[in-house]
């Protein structure tokens, strides 16, 4: 009944959107992995990234794909500052305190954005927004690759790969991993763990802001846009295994694929239901996430 | 309130003191000046000022504010001694529970004569439960049939109910297609699964079925959808001749853009809301041109009034602002006729008057009149089309201000 072209189209759509979910989730996972803090306000940085990219586009004519780098840099420094002032005091504090702080931050940022930017929906218009590559065209239909999603996916890939390189191939990355594994030992080895925490938080929110900026061509920015993504983000991260960058990538792409294929078979309304049913099954059967190795 | 207290105490007094009081009362406005003599009339405005529907709420508030300012500048409510209108504005957020709480607080603390709001049908439904219990008139421009289906005594819907708007969307489209020499056989409907989307698509579906036309795609999707490609893929496969998307702004931008991306250029007939606001054009640029939409009111029908909005706020008078302004216009006339802040008296006037003065005339037909269900019997939806950043009414013919562009 469903042709092979439909299958491939669904697969492509799922991977493209999933790649973006992956990038916005990597940041969340990084923050948790290094600092062991669940940052509920994380999706607000996605919103912030979108607004930065939108302003760059509206006032300087910068394409969101390049604006994403501006968003990354600005939110990196905002993140570092925020870590210093707000997050640092709650590292190692009871979880309730951490939840209160980050949830409070979520509301403060959302309403702050409403105050600052107004409730308008802001959208960019670029040339590639309405273009698509035709991969295949035949009797059974066509397979299209929408350019805006392809670009967003490639940018996501780029940022994911850079982050991986940073963590695994640089001395700073090694220091960060050491801090994550054992802060005390890291400190004894001469690593400035406070600095590592700041950089990790800055990078975490920066990556998510970057992901927000690259999806601007197909998602409208508004102060409440974070709430559309926050649950998907947490699902992706937990699905893949909290605290692991590779896990966030696997989780993100899985979320995209599940949504996409669910819409093919079931009414589109049920796409998140399908997602959460699978999510619950994964939690029940493999609670440490799909990519995590069982600890001895 | 003040007035009734005065009359009961008067009854108990002697003739001499009655005369004295009367003289004092007559002298009072001259002594104290306007605005102080009469307590201001509180009118409740509950609209979403934050959350996903904030922009629509702000537009609505602007429309009401414009009319209230005009009334106050022209000497307030004359039958109430020039009482000024005082708008009590509250944020309904985009959450029905919150909207009901806000309404409750407004009833108990602010002593409002009536409530206007709340743009989104789901919010209006929640508020109407509260106003009905308290017997406070509620004037609304929300479409959902449910609002006036429940036999409530105190709710007045100034626009056609959603099912009628849905049916008109289909009927008008078929007429336009026919004029262009196209016979409709297959249509696609996609709608967000809110009160508004569901009721409007129901009307659309029924009209299509009655006309014996095949609905080749009929898909609901959740509010706040982040990826519409499954919808558009399905549309592409469905072979429909026209598509009817019923959605607010974000989804409407996504839908039109994804359609163009996939090379789908069939006539697109939006379901009001997101399709007829300046942001739609801003978000889509030239892609917006020739997109059609149903609209419960259109600013090109009463430019004398609606241009005042553009002058003050810098953008064309969007339909929710226009309809809310009309609600305020009706309430103004009702207050003038009732001459008191009593809820029952105002309700009586709203129920039994023909409103053909002032801002009430911006609705189609130039007047407003409510039947027993609280529905405006003169309301007629209009078909509008984007043309270079402006909306032009193209159907029905008696209201049209321009010719339709139909690219089949």
For A177, half-sphere exposure in the C-beta direction (CA atoms, 13 angstrom radius) is: 14
Over residues B245-251, the mean pLDDT reads 83
Name the strand (E) or helix (H) holding B114. Answer: strand B114-117
User: How far, in Å, CA of A73 to CA of A80, rounded?
Assistant: 11
Would A41 be classed as within a structural domain? yes
For the cut 70, the answer to whether the pLDDT of residue B35 exceeds it is: no
- CA dist list (Å): A118 to A111, A114, B53: 10, 5, 12
What integer pLDDT is reported at residue B29 of this predicted model? 45
A228 and B CB contact within 8 Å: yes
Tens of pLDDT, residue by residue over A91-110, are: 878 888 888 999 999 999 99
The 10 Å Cβ neighbour count of residue B316 is 22
Query: For residue A292, what pLDDT is reported?
Result: 63
Least confident among A231-235, B35-39, B363-367: B35-39
**Is residue A90 scored above 90 in pLDDT?**
no
| Beta carbons within 8 Å of A206's beta carbon, 6+ residues apart | A27, A45, A71, A72, A73, A75, A76, A79
CB pairs < 8 Å spanning A and B: 105
Is B249 close to A220, i.e. CB distance below 8 A?
yes
List the beta strands (DSSP E) in chain A: 132-138, 141-146
* Cα distances (angstroms) measured from residue A168 to each of A178, A188, A190, A197, A246: 11, 21, 19, 17, 12
pLDDT in tens, A18-30: 988 998 898 898 8
Region B126-130: mean pLDDT is 94
Token pair for residue B175?
């007429």
pLDDT at B7 over 80: no
Residue B408 pLDDT > 70: no
Q: What is the pLDDT of residues B107-121, one digit of tens each?
A: 999 999 999 989 988
- What pLDDT was estimated at residue A93? 83
> Is residue A61 assigned to a domain?
yes
C-alpha A72/C-alpha B268 separation (Å) is 38
Lowest mean pLDDT among A37-41, A250-254, B21-25, B381-385: B21-25
The chain-wide mean pLDDT, for chain A, equals 87
Q: Is the pLDDT of residue A128 over 90?
A: no
Sheet with B390-395, strands from edge to edge, namely B269-270, B292-295, B382-387, B390-395
- pLDDT at site A295: 45
What is the pairing mode between strands B155-157 and B138-140? Answer: parallel
Q: Could you give the CA distance from residue A214 to residue B297 in angstroms, rounded to a whole number? A: 37
Residues of B with a Cβ under 8 Å from any A Cβ are 49-52, 54-55, 57-58, 193, 219-222, 224-227, 229-231, 233, 236-237, 249-250, 253-254, 257-258, 260-263, 279, 282-285, 287
Report yes or no on A267 lying in a domain.
no
Residue A7 placed within a domain:
no
Q: Which residues of B touch A121 (CB under 8 A)?
A: 55, 249-250, 253, 279, 283
Cis check for the bond before B396: say yes or no (omega within 30 of 0).
Answer: yes
Among A207-211, A225-229, B72-76, B389-393, whose mean pLDDT is lowest? Answer: A225-229
Residue B56 in this model has a pLDDT that exceeds 80: yes
Name which of A55-59, B10-14, B86-90, B386-390 the model is least confident about.
Answer: B10-14
> What is the reported pLDDT for B5?
43
Q: What is the pLDDT of residue B330?
A: 96
- Do the chains contact at B236 and A271, CB–CB below 8 Å? no
pLDDT value of position B88? 95
Give the Å distances, CA to CA, from A49 to A39, A73, A237, A249, A253: 16, 10, 20, 20, 21
Mutate which of A131, A215, A220 to test chain B, going by most B C-beta atoms within 10 A?
Answer: A220
CB contact under 8 A, A146 and B50: no
> Which of A119, A144, A218 comes nearest B257 by C-beta?
A218
Work out the average pLDDT over B29-40: 54
pLDDT at position B2, please?
Answer: 42
Residue A39 in 3-state DSSP?
Answer: coil
Cβ contact, residue pair B50, A263, below 8 Å: no
Predicted local distance difference test score (pLDDT) of residue B247:
84
Q: Stretch B294-319: mean pLDDT, rounded?
A: 93
b/e per residue A99-117 (b: at least 16 CB within 10 A): eebbeebbeebbeebbeeb
For residue A290, being part of any structural domain is answered with no
Asked if the model's pLDDT at residue B328 lies above 70, the reply is: yes
Interchain CB contact of A222 with B (< 8 Å): yes
pLDDT at residue number B250: 78
What's residue B16's pLDDT? 55
- Contact check, Cβ <8 Å, A268/B220: yes
CB atoms B283 and A125 under 8 Å: yes
A49 or B17, which is more confident?
A: A49
Residues of A in contact with B220 (CB under 8 A): 267-269
B142, B120 Cβ separation under 8 angstroms: yes
Distance CA B136, CA B376 (A): 18
Domains identified in chain A, total number? 1
d(CA B61, CA B261): 36
Residue B188 pLDDT class (50, 70, 90 cuts)? very high
How would you classify residue B119: left for phi > 0, otherwise alpha for psi between -120 and 50, otherwise beta?
left
The answer to whether the beta carbons of residues B367 and B354 sit under 8 Å apart is: yes
> Read out DSSP for B168-193?
HHHHHHHHHHHHTT----EEEEEEES
Asked whether the whole model's pTM tops 0.95, one would answer: no
Q: Which residue of A has its CA nearest to B265?
A: A130
Place of tokens 């302003």: A55
Mutate to test the interface with A, among B227, B236, B314 (most CBs of A within 10 A): B227
Q: Cβ distance B299 to B306 under 8 Å?
A: yes
* Average confidence (pLDDT) over A45-55: 95
pLDDT in tens, B198-213: 888 888 899 999 999 9
For residue B223, the SS3 value is: coil
Phi, psi dihedrals of residue B227, rounded to the nearest 5°: -140, 115
Return residues 141-180 of A near B (CB < 8 Å): 141-142, 144, 146-149
Q: Check if A99 contacts B (Cβ < 8 Å).
A: no
Candidate from B54-58, B186-190, B341-345 with smallest mean pLDDT: B54-58
**For residue B12, is pLDDT > 70?**
no
| Cβ contact B341:B137 at 8 Å | no
Asked which of A2-11, A273-282, B21-30, B301-310 is least confident by mean pLDDT, the reply is B21-30
Residue A260 lies in a domain: no
CB contact under 8 Å between B221 and A268, yes or no, is yes
Nearest to B52 among A111, A224, A268 (CB): A224
- Whether residue A132 is predicted with pLDDT greater than 90 in this model: the reply is no
- β-bridge pairing A141-146 and B138-140: unpaired
Of A119, A268, A272, the CB nearest to B230: A268
Under the banding of pLDDT at 50, 70 and 90, the label for residue B372 is very high
The reported pLDDT for the residue numbered B24 is 52
pLDDT given for residue B33 in this prediction? 43
Residues of B in contact with A152 (CB under 8 A): none
**Residue pLDDT, tens place only, A242-262:** 777 888 888 999 999 998 888
Task: Sort out which chain B residues have CB atoms less than 8 A from A229's CB and list them.
Answer: 226
**A124 is in which domain, residue-wise?**
20-254
CB contact under 8 A, B262 and A228: no
Structural domains in chain B, CATH included, are: 41-160+301-377 (3.40.50.2300), 163-295+383-399 (3.40.50.2300)
> Residue B191: what are its φ and ψ, rounded to 5°?
-150, 150
Residue A285, domain member (yes or no): no
B233 and A10: CB-CB below 8 Å? yes
* A 100-129 residues inside an 8 A Cβ radius of B: 111, 114, 119-121, 123, 125, 129
* pLDDT tens profile A173-227: 999 889 888 888 988 989 998 999 999 999 999 999 999 999 998 888 888 888 8
- Is A5 inside any structural domain? no
- B chain contacts of residue A263, beta-carbon cutoff 8 Å: 230-231
**Quick one: pLDDT at residue B36?**
47
């Amino acid at each position: 009944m469903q042709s092979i072209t439909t299958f491939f189209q669904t697969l492509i759509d799922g991977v493209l959107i999933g790649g973006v979910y992956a990038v916005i989730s990597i940041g969340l996972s990084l923050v948790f992995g290094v600092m062991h803090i669940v940052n509920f306000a994380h999706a607000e940085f996605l919103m912030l990234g979108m607004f930065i990219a939108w302003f760059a586009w509206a006032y300087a004519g910068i394409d969101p794909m390049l604006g994403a780098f501006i968003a990354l840099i600005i939110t990196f420094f905002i993140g570092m500052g925020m870590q210093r002032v707000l997050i640092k005091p709650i590292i190692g504090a009871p979880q309730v305190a951490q939840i209160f702080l980050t949830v409070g931050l979520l509301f403060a940022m959302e309403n702050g954005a409403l105050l600052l930017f107004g409730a308008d929906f802001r959208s960019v218009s670029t040339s590639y927004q309405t273009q698509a590559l035709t991969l295949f065209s035949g009797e059974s239909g066509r397979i299209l690759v929408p350019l805006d999603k392809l670009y967003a996916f490639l940018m996501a890939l780029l940022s994911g790969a850079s982050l991986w390189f940073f963590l695994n191939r640089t001395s700073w990355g090694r220091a960060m991993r050491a801090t994550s594994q054992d802060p005390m030992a890291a400190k004894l080895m001469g690593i400035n763990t406070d600095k590592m925490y700041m950089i990790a938080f800055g990078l975490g929110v920066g990556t998510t802001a970057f992901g927000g900026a690259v999806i601007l061509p197909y998602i409208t920015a508004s102060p409440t846009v974070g709430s559309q993504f926050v649950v998907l983000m947490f699902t992706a991260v937990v699905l893949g295994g909290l605290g692991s960058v590779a896990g966030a990538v696997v989780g993100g792409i899985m979320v995209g694929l599940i949504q996409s294929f669910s819409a093919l078979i079931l009414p589109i309304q049920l796409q998140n239901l399908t997602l959460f049913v699978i999510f619950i099954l994964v939690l029940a059967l493999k609670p440490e996430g799909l990519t995590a190795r069982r600890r001895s | 309130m003040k007035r009734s207290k005065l009359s009961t105490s008067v009854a108990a007094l002697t003739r001499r003191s009655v005369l004295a009081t009367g003289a004092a009362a007559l002298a009072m406005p001259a002594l104290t000046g306007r605005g102080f003599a009469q307590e201001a009339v509180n009118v409740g405005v509950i609209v979403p000022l934050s959350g996903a529907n904030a922009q629509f709420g702000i537009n609505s508030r602007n429309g009401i504010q414009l009319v209230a300012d005009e009334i106050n500048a022209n000497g307030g409510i004359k039958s109430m001694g020039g009482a000024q209108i005082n708008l009590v504005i509250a944020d309904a957020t985009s959450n029905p529970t919150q909207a009901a709480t806000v309404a409750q607080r407004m009833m108990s603390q602010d002593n409002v004569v009536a409530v206007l709001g709340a743009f989104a049908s789901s919010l209006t439904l929640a508020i109407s439960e509260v106003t009905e219990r308290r017997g406070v008139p509620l004037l609304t421009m929300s479409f959902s049939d449910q609002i006036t289906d429940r036999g409530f005594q105190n709710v007045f819907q100034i626009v056609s109910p959603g099912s009628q708007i849905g049916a008109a969307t289909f009927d008008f489209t078929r007429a336009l297609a026919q004029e262009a020499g196209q016979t409709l056989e297959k249509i696609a409907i996609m709608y967000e699964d809110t009160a508004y989307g569901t009721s409007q698509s129901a009307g659309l579906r029924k009209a299509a079925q009655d006309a014996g036309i095949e609905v080749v795609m009929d898909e609901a999707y959740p509010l706040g959808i982040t990826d519409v490609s499954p919808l558009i893929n399905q549309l592409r496969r469905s072979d429909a001749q026209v598509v009817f998307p019923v959605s607010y702004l974000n989804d409407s931008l996504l839908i039109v853009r994804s359609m163009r991306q996939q090379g789908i250029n069939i006539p697109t007939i939006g379901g009001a809301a997101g399709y007829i606001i300046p942001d739609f054009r801003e978000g889509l640029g030239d892609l917006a041109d020739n997109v059609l939409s149903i609209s419960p009111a259109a600013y090109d029908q009463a430019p004398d009034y609606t241009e005042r909005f553009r002058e003050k706020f810098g953008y064309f008078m969007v339909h929710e602002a226009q309809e809310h302004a009309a609600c305020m216009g009706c309430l103004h006339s009702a207050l003038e006729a009732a001459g008191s802040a009593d809820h029952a008296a105002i309700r009586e006037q709203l129920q039994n008057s023909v409103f053909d003065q002032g801002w009430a005339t911006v609705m189609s037909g130039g007047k407003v009149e409510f039947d027993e269900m609280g529905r405006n019997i003169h309301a007629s939806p209009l078909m509008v089309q984007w043309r270079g950043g402006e909306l032009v009414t193209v159907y029905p013919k008696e209201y049209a201000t321009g010719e339709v562009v139909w690219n089949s």
